Chain A
Amino acid sequence: MIRLSIPLRQALSRLSLPVLIAAAFGIMLLGKADTALVGRARMAVADTLAPIYGVLAEPLNAVRDAVQELRFLAALREENLRLREENERLHRWQAAALALEAENAMLQRQLSYIPEVKASFHTARVVADAGGTYARAVLLATGPGNTIAKGQVALDERGLAGRVTEVGSRSARVLLVTDMNSRIPVVLEGSRGRAMMAGTNGDRPRLQFWPEGSPPREGERVVTSAEAGVFPAGLPVGVVRWTEGGAAEVELFARLNRLDLLRIFDFGLSGILPPEAVARPEPRQRH
């Protein structure tokens, strides 16, 4: 250790704050200039912390489950009644679905339709909120030897949740569809009109750029579009809700505020855009 004279040491300590503030500006510039480096640094931190998060998630999940269990117990009777009713309704739908499936298979045979490849998927646990204040993202613990790659699609048990944007050796980051930087090509199921679903950091992403003359209808189902070669067609996303202010929003099927497991699908699609290209909204299409 070097012994410094007291005035020199005082001068150094007074200088350290301005120097470090200048360094902070330097890091800001570096972060803007080299996004790949920042991504690698983030994933290095995430990889280091993933096992710790994995351990911490256990008791947290236990507490959350216990609270949910209590809530279930309190509402058991009504829940049971509602489920009975729903089950009856779903039975009718199941019959309809089976009939449609048979009909679909028959029609596909007649048309010699080229079937899409079956997607493979991995399930991974959500261990941390990786977004911060101004972003919506989650961190997955994937374990070593995972085959998760950038650009793959994350779904929870109900619908589309996001896309993998960064992959480390033990963890992966998923940018949720509600994030400001998320732009998803979607199809309105009723009119087959294409639109973009843009995240706002709120609970409901907005619909933009639908074809003129066929605005999205309230309650219409929204599914993904195969347009950019990023998503397969027809993944369930949500339903259209019009706000009082006259904006079309999507009420998501996925429950993004209580994600615990995500299925990461590999659809074998190659048209994957780098994340910085996703950040820019698509130019408006002329119809």
Chain B
Amino acid sequence: MTRRPHHHPVMGLLRRLDGWARAAFPAASTALLMMLAAAPAGLPSAVPSVALACIFFWTVFRPAAMAPPVCFGIGLLQDLLGFAPLGIGILTLLAVHGAALRLRRFLARQPFPMVWLVFTGFAATASALGFLLQAALNWRVPPPTLGLVQFALSAGLYPPLAALLTRLHKAMQRAETLG
């Protein structure tokens, strides 16, 4: 690799570190939020919902930092944190990522309620896909209410999560225009 000319080597290194930190932030914060969501709260597990919302948000607004391998890793983490058959989280999240990537040009320009509406569609599809895969891999049909609870949790969690992530995303954008 050829080094780009920098006026000061230390400044160049710092800038590159800063760039890496920003590139890694979406994945790292998603993993952290998922771990927080696994805390025992007496509620149904919010881990899949958190992963879904974060993947969707970063795919739409910062696709460079949410590449397919990152989605794969987050899906694997989701599957390992839970008790479900391996692969369900990976497949669902990759499908959501792929679909959101196709719609991102349209979605990035929409007001929040519209994005939320589209997200609920994604959440419904993802819950249905997860339910079907669960039934297929365990060879037993789980109670349908669980799929509905999962969907409701995803749809309900999106606005607060998106509000938080939007702030972080805006802060990163400001840092980028300054740098």
Contacts and interface: CB of A to CB of B under 8 A. Distances in A.
A38 B76 CA distance: 11
B142 A180 contact: yes
Contacts of B38: 53, 128-130, 139
A28 interface: yes
Q: Chain B: interface secondary structure?
A: helix
Contacts of A20: 68-69, 71-72, 90, 94
A16 B66 CA distance: 13
Given A28-B91, A45-B80, A201-B142, A133 B48 contact: yes
Which of the listed residues A28, A137, A202 has the most CB atoms from chain B within 10 Å of its own CB? Answer: A28
A31 B40 contact: no
Interface string B63-93: 0000111011001111011111111101100
Interface residues of B, number: 48
Interface in B85-116: 85-88, 90-91, 94-95, 97-98
B39 A56 contact: yes
A10 interface: no
B140 A180 contact: yes
Interface string B125-152: 0000010011001101011001101100
Interface in B1-58: 1, 35-36, 38-42, 44-45, 47-48
A91 interface: no
A13 B84 CA distance: 29
Contacts of A200: 143
Contacts of A27: 76, 86-87, 90
A202 B44 CA distance: 11
B150 A133 contact: yes
B95 A21 contact: yes
B146 A31 contact: no
Contacts of B90: 20, 23-24, 27
7 contacts: A17-B98, A24-B87, A45-B80, A130-B82, A132-B84, A133-B146, A259-B40
Given A21-B94, A133-B45, 6 more contacts: A27-B87, A28-B85, A53-B38, A129-B40, A130-B81, A134-B134
Interface of A: 1, 3, 13, 16-17, 20-21, 23-25, 27-28, 30-32, 38, 41-42, 45, 49, 52-53, 56-57, 60, 126-135, 137-139, 173, 175, 179-180, 200-202, 257-260
Interface of B: 1, 35-36, 38-42, 44-45, 47-48, 67-69, 71-72, 75-78, 80-88, 90-91, 94-95, 97-98, 130, 133-134, 137-138, 140, 142-143, 146-147, 149-150
